[in-house]
């Protein structure tokens, strides 16, 4: 069996941290290696523990979770960071994904669904709460809409710059498939998929699979 996913829980409510730690501790594939109550403590603990995944609340004292993302990514470069928050604000969602979060979940999520989401994130799949999907697409479309009065001859969509194979890869990302699953579906090597993913992100000017999935949905590739 593979080693359990090592998790750092960051939330300012002590009872929630304890409850979440107990919940995740019931699953033998997960282990909570530490917790933190604010961004500064989270950065120190992340650097010390080097977790596989950080569950990060947004409403923290001092520095919000989305604003702490750059420091956490620097402290634990290999860790995936997933937001777990009560905020359904579109701006928070967009800021988290721009900051490099691999997912955005709400605290209303069921325990089993959270465990599933964690494992999906560790496989490289982007995870966003179903309740936030429409807001995610809306945020992307708003960002992509030219200002009023802009020239009628808009530049070519970045999606059109992708090769047919890269579009296949992008569709797989939008479906939530991992690199291994995409490789199996397309009959190519997983390393080839990884290279294509890097090319897709670069051509689209994006930083994460979540953003790529939103772009694919917004442009009707699914």
Tens digits of residue pLDDT in 94-133: 888 888 899 999 999 999 999 999 999 998 888 888 888 7
> 8-45: b or e for each residue (b if 16 or more CB lie within 10 Å)?
bbbbbeeeebeebbeebeebeebbbbbbbbbbeebbeb
pLDDT at 155 over 50: no
| The architecture CATH gives domain 5-137 | 3-Layer(aba) Sandwich (3.40)
- Token reading at 18: 């304890």
Region of poorest pLDDT, from 57-61, 175-179, 205-209? 205-209
Instruction: Say what the pTM is.
Output: 0.68
pLDDT at 150 over 60: no
pLDDT at 143 over 70: no
**What's residue 139's pLDDT?**
60
**What's residue 160's pLDDT?**
79
CA 66/CA 84 separation, integer angstroms: 11
**What's residue 188's pLDDT?**
87
CA 105/CA 55 separation, integer angstroms: 10
In the chain, domain spans:
5-137, 154-218
Q: Identify which has the larger pLDDT, 131 or 137.
A: 131
**What's residue 115's pLDDT?**
95
Kindly state the average pLDDT of the residues 31-56: 96
For residues 140 and 188, is the Cβ–Cβ distance under 8 A? no
Kindly state the average pLDDT of the residues 149-162: 61
Q: pLDDT over 70 for what percent of the chain?
A: 89
Q: Which CATH number, 1.10.760.10, 3.90.79.10, 1.10.10.10, 3.40.50.620, labels domain 154-218?
A: 1.10.10.10
**What's residue 62's pLDDT?**
86
Sheet containing 30-36, strands listed edge to edge, beginning at the edge strand earlier in sequence: 30-36, 5-10, 53-56, 80-85, 103-106, 127-128
């Amino acid at each position: 069996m593979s080693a359990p996913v090592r998790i750092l829980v960051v939330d300012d409510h002590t009872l929630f941290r304890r409850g979440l730690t107990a919940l995740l501790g019931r699953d033998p594939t997960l282990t909570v290696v530490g917790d933190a109550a604010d961004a500064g403590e989270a950065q120190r603990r992340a650097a010390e523990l080097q977790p596989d995944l950080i569950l990060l609340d947004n409403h923290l004292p001092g520095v919000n979770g989305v604003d702490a993302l750059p420091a956490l990514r620097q402290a634990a470069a290999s860790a995936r960071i997933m937001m777990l928050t009560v905020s359904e604000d579109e701006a928070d969602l967009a800021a988290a994904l721009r900051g490099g979060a691999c997912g955005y979940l709400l605290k209303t999520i069921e325990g089993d669904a959270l465990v599933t989401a964690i494992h999906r994130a560790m496989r490289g799949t982007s995870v966003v709460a179903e309740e936030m999907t429409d807001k995610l697409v809306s945020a992307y479309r708003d960002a992509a809409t030219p200002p009023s009065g802009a020239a009628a001859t808009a530049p070519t969509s970045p999606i059109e710059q992708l090769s047919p194979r890269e579009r296949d890869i992008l569709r797989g990302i939008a479906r939530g498939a991992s690199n291994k699953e995409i490789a199996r579906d397309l009959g190519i090597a997983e390393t080839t998929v990884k290279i294509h993913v890097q090319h897709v992100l670069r051509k689209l000017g994006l930083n994460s699979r979540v953003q790529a999935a939103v772009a694919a949905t917004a442009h009707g590739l699914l």
